[in-house]
Structure formats: structure tokens, C-alpha cells
Amino acid sequence: MTTPHQTNPAVSDRAALVAHLEDPTPWDVLVIGGGASGLGTAVEAATRGYRTLLLEAHDYAKGTSSRSTKLVHGGVRYLAQGNVSLVREALRERGLLKQNAPHLVRDLGFLIAAYTWWSAPFYGIGLKMYDLLAGKLNLKNSRYISAQEALKRTPTLKKAGLKGGILYFDGQFDDSRLAITLLRTFEDYGGVALNHAPVTGLHKNAAGRIDGASVRDEESGREYRVNAKVVVNATGVFVDAVRRMDDAGAKDMLSPSQGVHVVVDRRFLPGDSAIMVPRTDDGRVLFAVPWHDHVVIGTTDTPVPQTSLEPRALPEEIDFILSTAAQYMTPAPTRADVRSVYVGLRPLVKAAEGTDTKALSRDHIIRISDSGLITLTGGKWTTYRRMGEDTINRAATQAGLPPRLSLTPALHLHGWTTDESDQHWRVYGTDAAKIQQLEGAHTLLHPELPYTEAEVRWAVRMEQARTVEDVLSRRLRALLLNARASSEAAPRVATILAEELGRDAAWQAAQVAEYQGLAAGYMLA
């Protein structure tokens, strides 16, 4: 059985990480993409003892994987669509993730408010089915609550006409902190990961089978060739671009859509529960969820013609979210109350096509090209582990690797602890005590943010943060919680990064300008 390494000397040393790219020995598995699917696949491979390299073009969870609704859930709306098998699988994975990362996942009550006589029994029956499908891994049973209890749990809920509600339970998490936790877990088990290292091409042997890739270190500009027995394309909404490195004529797999979220102050939802609107005017589900002492409200579903690293919300999407919230909350947030707007792209899969295609579930798809490129796409954070397990099962067969059982169903992720601490420090698990001993542990980056200077140093030394954006958007969640405050904190973060990385004043100025330009796109005014 594979056991984690006690130390990994390359964790905080980029030069040592880059040096691995010069090793001509073929990797057992090369994973392209450092989001939920790529990290899950990499952890699955490394814990089985396969020699694994993960390459990320930008930063871990840079795209969709840091812009979710922050829920670990079975998907109530999928149950309404009759997709029982998908819901059962997601509920099982929800339970496993809570067991494997209790420092990152917590139970959260969701209130469906009833304003008609029939809505509480109607939704109550469906949510009892939700409880049953979760089986032994269920969090807490759903139940009917009175109007009085509903208002106690969510004091800003509209009182007029309220007849009661249904309270059910799902999980909540911090998406990019789970990504970094998976990165650390991968490294604990001997995996090598490098961010800011885009794959620029795929290589094939004389038989036309993929046997490696070209990669560029963005910091030095130098190109490398890495060899691998099997290559996994786990680049989320960008899988089609990698597929065309393999086959220039490959047709698109995806029809992406975007989901918009707005973040407001906690005063708009001061109770201990979230609000779930089961059917909005456009037929979607809308959530208002307490998160890091703020409230996330979303989401929308708007088809987009092309993918982008920084998608932007349409004015009508923001108006829709705020107008829907106003139907249930009083006082309701307005545009002036929005602290940040963020957008994630969903990798929605078109109908299957091509050779050797297999849909392992209706949620994620694995496709293997004639040259052996394994593409994983679709899915969601809740099922990241299952996606990785399915992918490595296929990859091991494809590469002729020795078959080994999956360890991830019961794998404690890096920092695992059941100790309760405040939400800010809890996401670090057992690492929190180490961070609190660093310089600046009691110095806030900004009076409107909970983050300290010590966390910036930790992000650079132990979590591969290389830019101001890496720190303020994903190691810390400042960009999503309060875009303006994060912009004001950027100069101090750049100074600390420069100290840690040995950068000059010009680099600092460029980093601040770049980040503040980015943050402006997350503000409404």
C-alpha cells in the first residue's frame, strides 16, 4: 500500500519542480489541467503508486473550479428531472468528501420557503427521496418547519404569506481551497505538479500513439519535452483546444454555458441557513448561501459562444439574480450592495461522437482518441473523486500499468482534522497552527478582509502561489468576497511576494497593475 512521504523538498522550490521536466524517464501518467477533474485524477494516480506529473497552464482552479456555488451536493434539480442514478452517486461522493476532508466540508441547512399550501408537501416528498438515496452517508433528515422557525433560521425571509417551509441539508465547501488541498495531497504521495506551465503540443511515436507533450515554463520561457505512458486531458472548458493538438480536425465536445454569482454582506442572510429557490422564472434553481461571513447568490445558465479565462456577467444576468432574491429576501440587496461578481463556465457535453467513446455516467464523460489521448470532461466538484477513479481505471489499462485498487474512497486529504476552529482558519486544517507562527500572523492585509500577511508567505512557500492573483483570488478568497478591498490590498501582497520570490520593484508594479485591472472586472461600479 502506498504511504505518503513525510516531506517533499520540491513543494516550495520551483527550480526543483522545473528540473523534473528534464528527466527523460517516461511518467506513468501525465495529467493536463489543474482544476477539479485534473487534480482528482492526479491524486488518484499518485495514491495508486503511479509516477504522475500534473501540468497547469495558469494556476490551480484558475477557471471554473474556483467559481462554483460552493456546494457539495447531490443535485436536487437532477432528482426533479428523474436522474436518480446521478443523484445517488453524487450523494455518496458528498458523504465521502465530508469524511475525507472535514476541515473543508460542513453541513448546511437549506430552507425552501412555502408561500402556497401545496409547496411544502410537494417539495417535502422529493426531499425525503433525497435523504433515502444518501443512505448511511446522509447528513441530516429533511423536515417540515413552521413559519416561525423559518424566520428564526432566516430572519430576512419575506414574512408576507409565509406558510412554513422544508429544511434539508447539503454540504458546503471552499472550492479553490479544496483544489490546493488536493495539490498538497498529490505532493504528499510523491506527485509532481507545476503551474504556469502550459502544454504547447502533444508528441506521438512511430505508431501514431501519444507518448508525451511539450511544455513551456512561463517564468523562464523555456520549452521542455516530457515523456509519458498515457496523457489525460482534464482541462475543463478548454478540452477541445487540447484535443485539437491531437487531431486538428476534432469537432467540439462542449457547448459551454456560464453561471453568474453575486456576493453581498452577511446582513442580507444573517441566520444559520441558506435559501434555496426550487424554480425561478427561467426554470433554474437559485441559492443564497452564507460563505466566509458573506452571502453568495446565484446562479444563471447562459449559453456562450466561446470559452474565456475571465468570462463576464451580462447586465441582465445580474438583474435576474437580484430581482429573484428580492422575491424572497427583505431587505433585498441592490447593485450598490454587491461586493463582487464572479462567473464560471460549465463544461456541458454535446451528444457523444467518435470512436472508443464511453459515458461513464450522465454527469462526466471519458473519451479516448485513436492516438490514445484520454479526455475527461463534464462533471462537478462533488464527484471529482469518482471522476478521477474512473479516469485512472481507463488510463491504467491504456498504458499497461499494473492494476491497483483505488484508495481514495477512504483517503484523508492533506490537513485532515475534525477539530473545530473559526471558518477563516479551518480551511487549512492542521496547517493552520504552522501559518499562525509565521511573520505577520496578526497583521491584516486589509481592514475589510480576514486575511493576514502570514497567509501570503505560506501561499508562496507551500502552495505554489506565484502572482498577486494566485494569492488574492485562490489561496485567499479576497477577490470573490470583496473585489475593491482586494484591489486595495494588492500592493502589500506584491511586496510580500517580491520578498519571498526575489522580485524587483518593476515586477511589483506590473503585478499590482495587472491584478487591479482584473479586480475591476469583478466590481459593478
User: Which of 303, 319, 346 is where one domain is finished?
Assistant: 346
CATH of the domain at 315: 3.30.9.10
pLDDT at residue number 203: 98
Same domain, 248 and 260: no
Of 98 and 75, the structure prediction assigns the larger pLDDT to 98
**How far apart (Å, rounded) are the C-alpha atoms in residues 119 and 475?**
41
Q: Name the nearest CA neighbour of 76 among 67, 86, 66.
A: 86
Same domain, 44 and 165: no
Same domain, 267 and 250: no
Same domain, 168 and 259: yes
Same domain, 143 and 237: no
Domain enclosing residue 459, as ranges? 436-520
Span 342-398, pLDDT tens digits: 999 999 887 554 422 223 235 799 999 999 999 999 999 999 999 999 999 999 999
Same domain, 385 and 491: no
Environment class of residue 371 by beta-carbon count within 10 Å: exposed (0-12), middle (13-18) or buried (19+)? Answer: middle
Span 101-130, pLDDT tens digits: 999 999 999 999 999 988 899 999 999 999
Same domain, 126 and 196: no
**How far apart (Å, rounded) are the C-alpha atoms in residues 289 and 71?**
9
Q: What letter would DSSP give residue 59?
A: -
Same domain, 145 and 275: yes
pLDDT at residue number 3: 54
Residue 88 falls inside a structural domain: no
Residue 509 falls inside a structural domain: yes
Segment 221-225 mean pLDDT: 98
Span 124-139, pLDDT tens digits: 999 999 999 999 999 9
Name the CA dihedral angle for 345, 350, 354, 355, rounded to a multiple of 10 degrees: 80
- 285 pLDDT band (50/70/90 cuts)? confident
User: Which of 393, 410, 427 is where one domain is finished?
Assistant: 410
Residue 5 falls inside a structural domain: no
Same domain, 205 and 133: no
Looking at the chain, the whole-number percentage of residues with pLDDT higher than 90 is 86
Same domain, 264 and 331: yes
Of 277 and 4, the structure prediction assigns the larger pLDDT to 277
Whole-number average pLDDT of the chain:
93
Report whether pLDDT(484) > 90: yes
Residue 476 falls inside a structural domain: yes
Sign of torsion, CA 55 61 64 68?
positive
106-114 and 273-277 strand pairing: parallel
Count of domains forming the chain: 3
Report whether pLDDT(143) > 50: yes
Segment 14-34 mean pLDDT: 97
Span 163-196, pLDDT tens digits: 999 999 999 999 999 999 999 999 999 999 999 9
Residue 73 falls inside a structural domain: no
Radius of gyration (Cα) for the chain, nearest Å? 23
Residue 72 falls inside a structural domain: no
Same domain, 330 and 259: yes
Same domain, 369 and 502: no
Q: Which helix (H) or strand (E) holds 291?
A: strand 286-291
Residue 4 falls inside a structural domain: no
Joined grid coordinates for residue 376: 475527461
Residue 3 falls inside a structural domain: no
**Phi/psi of residue 452, nearest 5 degrees:** -115, 165
Cis upstream peptide for 357 (omega within 30°): no
**Phi/psi of residue 103, nearest 5 degrees:** -75, -10
- 4 pLDDT band (50/70/90 cuts)? low
- 357 C-beta neighbours (distance < 10 Å), count: 14
Q: Name the nearest CA neighbour of 62 among 518, 524, 523, 520.
A: 518
**How far apart (Å, rounded) are the C-alpha atoms in residues 16 and 298?**
41
pLDDT at residue number 351: 58
